[in-house]
Structures are given as C-alpha cells and as structure tokens.
Structure 1
Amino acid sequence: MLKILYPLFLLEVVIGGGGRMAGFAPVSVRGIVAALCLTVTGLHFIGRGLRIPVTTLALVIAFSWMLCAGAIVGFLNGNDAAQITADVGQLSYFFILPFVLHYFQTESRARIVTERFLVYPALVLSVAYFFALYLIFGLGRFEQMYELLSIGDDFFFREDQTFFYKSFLYLGIACFFLVENRTPGRLVALLLVLVAIYLTHTRGLYLSVILVAALVYTDFKQKLSLFLVLLAVSLILSAGEILQLAAKPDSDVVRLLDLQYIYQHTDLKSLLLGHGFGASINDRGRIEITWAEIFFKQGLVGLGVWLYWLCQVINMYYAFDDEKRKLLRPYFSTTLFVMVISFTNPFMNNSIGLVALLVSYIAIQQAAMGDDAISIQAKPAGKGDISEC
C-alpha cells in the first residue's frame, strides 16, 4: 500500500496545482490522498510505533505551537472565523510529515522514488506547457484556452497571453535534480525545463533558480560575483517596469502597497505575535510575499519557527562530508528554492511548497541519522509501555 500511496501523493501535488482541480466540493483530491496517507501511518503507529528523531519532534512542537498561537491571536483580535480556519487549514498540511517520515524509514529506495516523482511529472508539465503555447500562438486559440483554464484559481494569465500554473514551482525543483549526474538525456531534460521556466515569464521563478544555483554550486568568491551579476540582470530586467510603477497597476505595485500596509499597521503590540490568522492585508487574506504575510499574521515568533526549520536543514547538510553532501544537494537546493521564491510568490505556507519542504527535510534528516542518532521511539500504549529514549 505504501509503495503505491507515496508516489500517488507526490504525483498529485506536482501536477495538481492547488489541489482542487479534480476535487469534489467540499472535498479535494489532495484532502482525500492526505487522509489516506495519515490513516496508513496511524495504523502503522498503532501496530509497531514510529521512530521520531528529537529534532523532528522539536520542529513539530514548534510548528504546532505557532498554529495555536496564530489562531488564538486571530480570535482575540476579532478576525473572521472562516478566514482563521482557512489559514490554519492551509498550514495544516505540515502534519503529513509523519507519513513522509514513515516512508523514508521503511523504504530503502525512498530517495530514488522521490526523485523520479518530482522530476518526471515536471517534464510532463513542461511538454504540456509547450503544447498549450502552441495552441495559443500557433493555432490562435487563446480564448478557448483561457475559458478552459480560468475556471479555478490555479492558472494566472498575462497580458502577453502566456500563463503561470501553481505547480510550475516543481519545474524549478526538477532543475536541481537534473543538473546532477549529467548524462545526455538528463541535459536535454534540463534544457527542456529551463526553456519552459523562461517562457512562463515569471521573474520570481527563474531568478530564484539562478540565485539558489549560485549559492549552492559555487565557492564564496564565485557566489559574490554571481550575486552581483544576478542583481544587475534583475535590475535591468525590471527597469522598464520600475519606471512605469506609477501608471501600471501590476503585481509589483500590489507588492509595494502590501509592504506599505504592513509597515503602517505594525506596532509593538503586533511585533512579537502579529495580528493573528484571519488578518487581512489591503482587504486580502493572502499576499504574494509569503515572508511578509507570515510576519504580519504571526510576528517575529512565526518568522522564527520558519527560520528554525531552515537552520535545522543547513546544520544537517553542512555536517555531511563532501560525498554525502553532493548526494543530498538537490534536496538542500529545493529547501532554499522554496524559501527564496516565497519572497515573491506564495508557496512555502501552502500544500504545494510544504510538500517540497517536508520531503527535502526528511530526506536530509534520515541521511543524517546513524546508529548513534538520538531519537524517540514512540510506541503504542500497552502494559507498562511508555515512549522510550
């Protein structure tokens, strides 16, 4: 069951966008798959227990506390109950973590399967995007494509008739796997994905790929040089839009207005715990800059939990020797990528980004565990049984 369910779990996220394209209101396919995953994990826990590393348990406790604090502050501030529930529900996908941990602990080929079901669906997305562009520009069927794809909120069309799909996040993630073990076939696949990324015309996507690649694959001097080049290129690419900010009501203006709103509504009272879940920013419950939304709703404490997660990954990754670090480099790059792109696009605080972060975290964490690793063996209750260290 687990060998079927885990690939299905990854496949649905990588190609399924926000999770409701094939949903049956009010239940989504993603919700059904998540329920199955947690049920299987729960049955295993009842029968055999689950080995939980102390660092992972600490992260779960911190994240749970963050959710509770955000909800309580939201209710105390009189925020809309439905919006509070929506915010908590969006972040609750974090608790799929035991299922991912269970799979990595029981399947010796977990990393191989994970790579395949992160990369292959991304290649399918690339080809599908090329075909969609052919229909739009080659056959002139923009109106039909727009009507077909604009039913939900997973597709965002631009003035130039290109579009962005929420699952395109995984095009960037696929790059970090394909660039390893460079064979002719993988290089062709990498080129395919890179071209698809460029044709989305999403600066946040391709600049995040470039930035993370510069940080991970170069030494310090090269990092500095590449960062300066990247900064110059991004300024050049954005120059035309910056000159038109006063007249052009595009996403750049919206982001600036959101930041201005957050600055104006932040005081000593909200600095630590924020305004709580359900708080609106310019009459919107969600904004593009995820880090800013986290700060506004959950304050410095909320930011601290996410940074604690990032620090755990960094500490584990750089504790490896060069050989193991190279093996796990795609997962480390994935973590950085999701957190970097979340400065411009909302990913890391929803199921699309959370799955990438969780899979990467568990892959690195399980590789870090040896015979001397400290963990907690959670066992089902029995005669005199307690959780053992």
Structure 2
Amino acid sequence: MLLVPILYELVIGGGGHYLELGPITFRMLSFLVVMSISTVIVFYNKKIRLDVVLLIFTLTLVLFLGAIVGLTNNAKLGSVLEDIKPLTFFYMLLFFSLAIRDVKDVQNVIKIIKRGSVLMAVIYIGVLILLLLGKINYIQFYNQQNAIGEIMFRSNLLFFYKGFIYLCIGFFFFLLIEGKYNKIAMILLFLSIALTLTRGFILFTILITLYYVFFINKKKYIKYLVFTGMVAVISVLPLVMSSFGDRKNSDSVRYIQVEQVISKIDPISFFIGHGFGIGIPIRPGGMEISFLEIFHKQGLIGVGFWISMFFYIFFMYYNIKDKAYKKLALPFLLSVVFVILQSTTNPYMNNPIGLSIILITIVVFSRLLEIQKKNRDDFSVPSNL
C-alpha cells in the first residue's frame, strides 16, 4: 500500500519541496518510514535477492570511501553529508524489492508512471494557458515559485519544473502501446516536453524514439509518421530556442567545469577521487554533469560502480526472453537510457529524481527474470519421462 503514494510523489513531486513541513519533506519522511519497515521485515528473515544485497553493500563501501577521502582532504563534515544525502536514496532499492513482488505490481508501477506524467503535462499546459490569459498573476507566481525553488523560468511565460523528466519517461511508456487514447497522451506529453525548451529533453526523447521506431518497431506507417513529426520539431526548435534566451552561458559554465576537474586530476584522485565535500572553484558544491561530479569526488571507482550497474540492467533485459515480459520491460529500459543520456549534462542519475526510475527498473527486471525462471521450472518436463 505504501508503494502507490510514494511512487506518485516521485513521479510528480519534483525535488520534493511542495510537500514539506519546515525542514522535513514528505519524501524524507516516507524514506525514513519505509526504510524502517523494510529493515524490520529483513530482520525477520524475509528473503532478499542477492543482486539487491550486493548493490546496496557495494554502494555503502563506495559512499564510505568517498566520505573518508573527503574528510582526509579537509572537507567540511557538512559538505560531505550534503553530497551523501541524495545518494542515500539508493537504499530505497530495498523497499522497492519488497514492494514489487509480481507482474501485477509491475503493471501498477506502469499505470502510476503513465497517469502521473499525463497529470503533470495537463497541469503544466493548464498553468501556461492561465498565465497567457492573465488569470494567474505572473509576478506573484514568479516570486512564489522562486522562493520554493522547484521551478526555473525560461521566459515571461514558459518555465521548467524539476519533475519534468517524468514527462519524457511517461512518453516512452505510452510510445509502446497501441490505441487512440494512448497516442493522444503521447502527443500531449511531447508537446509539454517541447514547451519546457529543454534541449536535452527534446533531443534525447527524439533520438530514443527514432531508435525504437526504426530498430524495434517494424510498422512502416508509424516510422513515417513519427519521423515526419520529429523532423518538423527539429526544424522549428532552433528558432524557438533562439527566441527564449541565450544558452551559451550555461554551456560555457559546463566547459569550465570540465577544464577545472581535469586540472585537479592526480594519480591518486584518478582512482579514488578527491572525496565528498570537495568541489571545484566554479562549483564548490554539486556539478551539473553527473559523471563529472562522480569522477571528481569518487574517481574511477565511483564511475565504475555506476557503469557496472547500468551494464547489469542491460544484461538483465537481454535475459528476459518471454515476449510479454520483454514488452513490459522495454519502456523501463528506454527510460534508464534517457536518464543516462540526460545525466551527461544535468545531475539526474545521482539524484532521487532520476535515481528512482533506475532503482525501480533494477527491481522490475530482477522480478521478471525470477518469475520467468519459475514459470519455466513449473512447465519443465521431468527427465525420467
């Protein structure tokens, strides 16, 4: 029962600051509650898959090493804890592994992602219309949202919400399903994605969709339809982007971050990093590029952990042979690929917003493989017959 409200909050809750009481957010509270319950369940000998145990154990070692290296390099304890804080969400893997138990649970997760993403798209477009019509006072809206910190404004009308990554994730779940209403939802989501004016969202959604259409889906009429639509968007996008602000500054900041990280590399930091709490001059705290952040603070060991985990996800998907389960698994895989690509420019995969779909995917794939094996064993023919 706890899975439903927690998933809805993860899908539409952004950074979690809309549901907070003082310094405590709903996400923090739910994390403490479900982790306490999960720990009690495990304590009473509930079976946990070996891969879940190994991932959690390895992450703990990586976090411990990063903290020790950071403190050794004179990082402030508060800065170390600030870097570790979003990564502790990884322990939700334990809860997800207990809550997602069968195919029905997987289907419920898919429903929540689809409904949550559509709800967010409807709210976004609705707010834009109200702002355009003057029904919402822009100055008051700007001041209010700026204080909360969940929204970044693109112009006098358009804005970006931290949870918008689930517009893209929801899009992939609708993309794989036939039916008029699903296609309408897909168009609504893509329109919302385009209106965010976020280059990475638009580009990676298009690229992953084209890959699906041309290499996975074999229906030619869909190929031409989607291709025409994507080309139209790509053609108009540069004009739209140039009308709403200059992105050269944000790009140059990322280039400077790369240069400063490279300048700090030494033989030791290359392998173990500089530790948590140790930033660079232009970004003393967190960096926009996830992989750069991980490499600078945790070195090759940290990067290796994440890459190994992603390889494991692809390995599990490859081993799902049942066609029905494969169809259930594919949108999760496309979503993880999207998060990986988006993390090359923004901090998603090492943040609860993007990490949540990665952890859910690990559990879903692991569970589908377990059920697939059980079904094969149940229908296997005894060797003595």
Shorter-chain TM range is 0.7 to 0.9
Tell me the TM-score normalised to structure 2 length.
0.85
Residues 80/284 of structure 1: CA separation in 2 closer, same or farther (3 Å cut): same
Q: How does 1:53-92 map to 2 (within 5 A)?
A: 53-92=49-88
Contact 2:322 2:372 in 1 (8 A): no
Distance in 1 between residues matched to 2:371 and 2:122, nearest whole Å: 41
Letter of the 2:177 counterpart = N
Alpha-carbon distance between aligned partners in 2 of 1:179 and 1:16, rounded to the nearest angstrom: 23
- Between the aligned partners of 1:56 and 1:288, the Cα distance in structure 2 is 28
Where does residue 223 of structure 2 map in the other structure? none
How many corresponding residue pairs? 358
1:153 corresponds in structure 2 to 149
Match of 1:284 in 2: 284
1:10 match: 7
Structure 1 residue 344: deviation in Å? 1.4
Separation in structure 2 between the aligned mates of residue 90 and residue 331 of structure 1, nearest angstrom: 22
Structure 1 113/237 Cα, relative in aligned 2: closer, same or farther at 3 Å?
same
> In structure 2, what is the Cα distance between the partners aligned to 1:142 and 1:194?
25
Equivalence for 1:266 = 265
What per-residue deviation string (whole Å, max 9, x for no partner) do you get for residues 44-89 of structure 1? 2234x23222222222222111111111111011112111101111
State yes or no: 1:110 paired with 2:132: no
Aligned to 2:130: 135
The more displaced of 136-145 and 146-155 is 136-145
CA distance in 2, matches of 1:366, 1:22: 31
Segment of structure 1 superposing worse, 209-218 or 362-371: 209-218
Kindly indicate whether the alpha-carbon contact (under 8 Å) linking 1:289 and 1:342 is maintained by their aligned counterparts in 2.
yes
Q: Deviations over 1:266-301 (max 9, x none)?
A: 222211111111111314311211111111111111
Q: Could you state the TM-score of these two structures normalised by the residue count of structure 1? A: 0.85
Tell me whether 1:347 sits opposite 2:348 in the alignment. Answer: yes
Distance in 2 of aligned mates of 1:108 and 1:249: 46
Aligned to 2:368: 367
Offset from partner CA, 1:5-62 (integer Å, 9 cap, x none)? 1011111111211112221232211011112212332332234x23222222222222
Q: Distance in 2 between matches of 1:335 and 1:162?
A: 27
For 2:115 and 2:320, the matched residues in 1 are separated by 28
- Which one-letter code corresponds to 1:114 in the other structure? V
Deviation (angstroms), 1:327: 2.3
Task: Return the offset for 1:261.
Answer: 1.1
Cα deviation for residue 174 of structure 1 reads: 0.2
SS in 2 for 1:156: strand
One-letter amino acid matched to 2:125: F
1:27 to 1:364, Cα distance in 2 relative to 1, 3 A = same
Three-state SS of the structure 2 residue aligned to 1:19 is coil
Residue 53 of structure 1 aligns to which amino acid in structure 2?
R
Q: Give distance in 2, aligned partners of 1:306 and 1:153.
A: 28
Do residues 95 (structure 1) and 91 (structure 2) align? Answer: yes
Question: Are 1:181 and 2:188 an aligned pair?
Answer: no
- The 5 A counterparts of 1:18-37 are 18-37=15-34
Per-residue CA deviations over 1:126-164 (Å, capped at 9, x if unaligned) read 111112212332327321221121112211112454111
Q: Using the alignment, how far apart are the partners of 1:134 and 1:320 within structure 2?
A: 44
Structure 1 runs not aligned, ≥5 long: 374-389
Q: Does 1:250 align with 2:246?
A: no
SS of corresponding position for 1:284: coil
Aligned match of 1:378? none
Flag structure 2 segments of 5+ consecutive residues without an equivalent. 219-226, 375-385
Pick closer, same or farther for the CA change 1:216–1:61 going to 2, 3 Å. Answer: farther
From 43, 46, 53, give the equivalent of 2:43.
46
Distance 1:142 1:250 in 2: 25
4+ residue stretches of structure 1 with deviation over 4 A? 370-373
| 1:209 and 2:205 matched | yes
